[in-house]
Each structure stands twice: as C-alpha cells, then as structure tokens.
Amino acid sequence: MMMSSIRANTKWIMIILAVAFAAWLVLDWVQSRDTQAAAGANPVIAVVNGHEIRYVRWSNTLQLALNNARAIGGGAVLTDEETRQVERTAWDQMIRDLLIEQEIERLGIKVTDSEIQQAFRLSPPPDLMRYPAFMTDGVFDYAKYLQFFSDPSVDEQLLVQIESYYRQTLPRARLSQMLQQGGAISDAELWQEFRYRNETATVTFATVTGTGDIRVDVPDSEMRRYYRDHEEEYERPATATISMANFPTVPGARDTAYVRALADSIRASVLAGTLSFEDAALQSSADESSRDSGGQLGRFGPGMLLPAFEEATVDLDTGSVSEPVLSPQGFHLLQVTERVGDTVAVSHILLPVELSPEGEDALFDLMDEFEGIALIDGLAAAADSLSVTIATGVTVTEGFDFVPGAGALGVAVDWALDPLTPLDEVSEFFQNATGYHIVEVAGRAPGGTFSFDEVRDQVRETLASEKRHEAALEAGRTRWAEVDVSTSLEEAAADLGWTVGTAGPFTRRQFAAGLGRDTEAVGAAFALPAEQIAGPLDAGGTVVFVRVDERIEASPELFVAVREQLRSQMQLQAGQANATRWIEGLREIATIVDLRDRLNRQAAAL
C-alpha cells in the first residue's frame, strides 16, 4: 500500500527534483545550448577568465533567484528595490559559481560512480528528505526512501536528475572540505583564546580633563605630505543631483478605519455562528506562526500578556470574541478558549493596518495623473498642478543605496547615474519599502579624487586630532607628576579636577565603558598587578589613568574540560575564514568582463 501510494505521486517527486536541481540542470542545458547559439539569439553577457556566460544562463539564474525570493516572502510581489538587490546577489553568485567550477576543473576534482552511489544511500537530497511520502509521523523515513528507489520500475529520468545533482554538489563539497582544513591549533593558542574570553577585570579610572582647548599647529607642508601619502583615501565617487516626488504607502486614518471595520465584520460572523474562530484565523490572520493552528497563542498567567490583551480578556467569557484590540502590529480579535485556575488559553486573529482598497485606488490615481504631467512638463510642473511636494537638490552617490527622503532606493541611484539617462529625464515610478518614488535628473558629477584644496580642512582636522591626543597624553603625564602619587587614584583625581569612573567586570573581547574596546587602557587592565595605577593611557579618544580593583583569572580546570570543544570551534572558524579569503582571492585575480551595459545600450538603440 505504501509503495503504491508513493508510486502514484512519482510525478510530484519529479516536480520537486526539477525545482531543487534547477540551478544545476539549467547550467548544463545552457552550456550545451551556448555552443550552438548565435550571438543575437543568446548573446554573451559576461566573460570570466576567458569563459563566456551567455544570456540564457544568466536569465535562468536570475529567474530562479527571483522565484526563491518571492517564495521566502510568502508569494508577495517584490518591490523594484528588492528586485534590484536580488539581481545583484544573483549576479555575484553566478560569477562565484563559475569561478568555483573553474577551480574544481583546475584542481582535477572528480567523483566516481561508487561515490555517487554511496552519497545516494547515505545523504539523500535535502528536498526529498522533506517530501511527505518519505516521512513517517513528520520525520524522514530512510526505509521508505530506499524502498522506493530499489524498485526497478523507477523512472529513469528521475535517477538521471539525482545523478546530475550529486555530480554537481559532491565536487563542491570536497573543495569546501579542502578549504576548511585549517592548520593545527596549539594548546597555547587555545589557552590564550580561553583567557581572552573568560578572564575578567574590574577597574577604577580617572579621565584626564581640561585638554579640549589645547591648540596645535599643523603646517601646510605637513598637510600636503599627509595628503600625498593618503591620496587613495580621498577618492570621490560619482554623484547625481535629482528632484524627487515621494508617494508613501504608509496607511492613514481611513485605512485604520477600514481594517477596524473588517475586524468588526469578522467578529460579528464568529459571534453569529456563521464562521468559526479557527476558520476565520485560517482565512484572515496575518500571523503565520498561529494561523494554521486556529490562532492559538498559548496559555498565560497573570501579567504574562500585553496589558491591552490582558485588559481585553480578563472578563471575556470562554468562547467569546473580544472587541478589536489595536497594537503596533494591527488589530487583534482575541478569544479565550479555556480557563484553568488563574491561567487562560488565548487565540487571536491579526489584521495588520495596511492601505485599504479605496486608499490604494486614490494613491494610484494620483500617481497616474502626476506621471502624465511630469513626463511632458517635468516634476516641478506636475507638483504645482497637483499640490504635491517635491524634494529638489537631492544628491545621490555611487555605491550608496540610501536616498535622503526615500530610504534604500539603489534602483533610482543606478538610473540617475547611468550615462544613458539624459539630463532632465523623468523616471518611471520606483517602489521600495516606504512607497513609490519618481525622479528627475538635474546634473551629474563624475568620480575622481578630491583635490588637496577641497579636503584641506579635513586633512587639517585629522592631523590636529592626532596632535591634540598626543598633547593630551603629555599633559596628563605632566599633571600627574604634580600630585602625591602615594595617595589614592580618587584623591589624586580630585586634586587635579579629573572625573573618576569604574568599569567591569569585562573581558578582553568586550567593550568597557569609558575605556573603549581593544585600547591601550583595556590591555593595561589585564597586565597591571592589582591596586597598581598606570597612565596616561589611550582609551579610544580620551586619556585615562587606570587602577585594577579586581581581576578574576581564567580557570585551568575549566579550560581542560572545554579544551577540545574550543579547539573544534576555533578550527571551524579558521576553516570558514580560509574559505572566505580563498573565494575573495579568486574574485580579485579573476578577469571579469561585464557586458550587461553594452547589451542594454544596444537594446535602447533599437
């Protein structure tokens, strides 16, 4: 019976595999097609170390990434900015995948048929492990999996797909293992790391004050020398100046009233018995974590619920439904399903406050009218005609997705900086998390390097800050020599008019208030003998004198107990860091020619 049930669902297994293995199958298919495709039908879109990537491969890679992003978002339509981010990530991943493929080929990493068979038996594809027909009581049933594939009548195409999956994944897994084989970590290194994580210090410190008015001289010759030595730090990215009209999708009073009316309607249906609370939750609740269980939140004692929920349910009869309760998440309908002692079992239906259909229609009508005028007469004319406020003189910068007044909107930044976009051109509407935005380009400035005169004040302040800090250290040293060092730190600080503070307990890895992180002062806290005072010390912008009040040393006995666990953790971290550096190194030395802009220009010229 079990086998016949699974066999009846073979086509669904095929569908799962088709989706799960799409990335690998698409690449194989595209590569075979690329060898025969004409440049016009399937043009080259990138060249990586001499290897051509054609449009179809990129198109399928992008489509798969977009589908995954929509699935993660519960099927919601992606905004323009979300689409741009997915495209950027997919492009980088495609280039990275090809570099890894090239490296696997260079290293001669191959897998044998016996290795594929072993992996098939011992490491089933993850998507098949989640397939319901291979589960028993919600857990993957290895016996069902083996029994299904041991039948000689299994579809041959299914086995071909699985083999393709392993031929793609096993070499990558082997390469990953090679990269993550970090060197041996000695006991001395382990002990040092253990101390850094577990040894703590508590200190009293006096902050040197009265140095804010120190005046320093920075000669012009010194500034110019610093500029020449650090010229790469003063690169100027390309910028564009835009005007922009924003149409927020933030709901207003009308939308709040609409959702409240919807909540009242659902409540009335439940109370009238025409709809159960569980069905209403399944149909309408936005809370995915409780929706499928009829809205169940759990059991709560006094003071455990939000105050508004507590108030709404304290006198609510079992089985009844509360009036809509407003929270930052939206309106909630609450039902007490059971009372035991002073505890209650509560379910809810969440209705977030979003744009109502009427509000959405009004917004889109305004946008359509605005766009119609703006495309002909410009943003300013459209704004004057419809009394819409626009932002002018907004600067957007290459490499920065943030747009003042709009939030993350890199898609508009790319458009405004694109040389193909004429000045005074009006864009289409770009959508992001805050709403819809339409842009007009007023001007552009190319990237380059800021001249010395342009950054003179910045250079002066950088050097002056360093000199003031050095002067503050020297001033602290001089002032400290004026007091009786046999007195306490607190008494000496009082005589000098300095402020006193405490910090700790903290470890070397933690930020210490008043001392900073990884500063000279933090280092002294773990090097000084108890009760000894040291200074002046750099504390990340301030100067301090420090006294160690208490230090708790790391426990050798505990170290012995956790040593091997720590070794495994550090080896894993070292291996992951090694793999990351290796991939970054491949990208740095690779010759990558991105032809997307060329294809876009050709398309625009048609």
Which CATH number belongs to the domain containing residue 379 in this structure? 3.10.50
Binning the chain into helix, strand and coil, the percentages to the nearest 5 are 50, 20, 30
Both tokens of 23, joined, read 């990335």
Q: Does residue 260 sit in the same domain as residue 225?
A: no
Q: Does residue 271 sit in the same domain as residue 338?
A: yes
Last residue of a domain, one of 446, 476, 504: 446
pLDDT of residue 124: 84
Q: Does residue 289 sit in the same domain as residue 323?
A: yes
Which CATH number belongs to the domain containing residue 257 in this structure? 3.10.50.40
Range(s) of the domain holding residue 99:
2-179
pLDDT of residue 306: 87
Q: Is residue 509 a part of any domain in this protein? A: yes
Give bridge partners of residue 402 from the DSSP assignment: 408
Distances (CA, A) of 169 to 105, 117, 349, 600: 14, 13, 43, 34
Distance from C-alpha of 276 to C-alpha of 281, rounded to nearest angstrom: 9
pLDDT of residue 603: 60
Q: Does residue 287 sit in the same domain as residue 412?
A: no
Q: Is residue 419 a part of any domain in this protein? A: yes
Q: Does residue 459 sit in the same domain as residue 487?
A: yes
Q: What is the mean pLDDT of each run of 10 residues along the chain (606 residues)?
A: 40 44 40 40 88 91 91 83 93 92 89 86 82 82 82 77 84 81 81 94 91 82 94 93 93 88 93 92 90 89 88 89 91 92 90 87 94 95 95 94 93 93 94 93 93 93 90 90 83 91 92 92 93 91 92 93 91 84 89 83 61
Q: Is residue 503 a part of any domain in this protein? A: yes
Q: Does residue 61 sit in the same domain as residue 110?
A: yes
- In single-letter form, the type of residue at position 517 comes to R
Q: Is residue 586 a part of any domain in this protein? A: no
Concatenated DSSP letters of 136-177 = ETTEE-HHHHHHHHHSTTS-HHHHHHHHHHHHHHHHHHHHHH
Q: Does residue 123 sit in the same domain as residue 218?
A: no
Q: Does residue 116 sit in the same domain as residue 23?
A: yes
Greatest CA span in the chain, whole angstroms? 95
pLDDT of residue 130: 80
Q: Does residue 39 sit in the same domain as residue 98?
A: yes
Distance from C-alpha of 259 to C-alpha of 264, rounded to nearest angstrom: 9
pLDDT of residue 122: 82
Q: Does residue 215 sit in the same domain as residue 266?
A: no
Distance from C-alpha of 513 to C-alpha of 502, rounded to nearest angstrom: 8
Burial of 229 (0-12, 13-18, 19+ CB in 10 A): exposed
pLDDT of residue 573: 85
Q: Is residue 286 a part of any domain in this protein? A: yes
Q: Is residue 480 a part of any domain in this protein? A: yes
Distance from C-alpha of 240 to C-alpha of 396, rounded to nearest angstrom: 5
Q: Does residue 288 sit in the same domain as residue 169?
A: no
End-to-end CA distance of the chain: 61
Q: Does residue 139 sit in the same domain as residue 214?
A: no
Last residue of a domain, one of 324, 351, 378: 351
Last residue of a domain, one of 524, 552, 580: 552
pLDDT of residue 168: 84
- In single-letter form, the type of residue at position 226 comes to Y
Query: What is the count of structural domains for the chain?
Result: 4
Q: How many CB atoms within 10 Å of residue 471? A: 15
Q: Is residue 573 a part of any domain in this protein? A: no
pLDDT of residue 183: 65
Contact of 215 with 472, CB cutoff 8 Å: no
Q: Is residue 273 a part of any domain in this protein? A: yes
- In single-letter form, the type of residue at position 360 comes to E
Using the structure block, give the residue that is written with the tokens 């659902």.
Answer: 266
Element of type H or E holding 337: strand 330-340
Distances (CA, A) of 180 to 275, 570, 576: 57, 11, 6
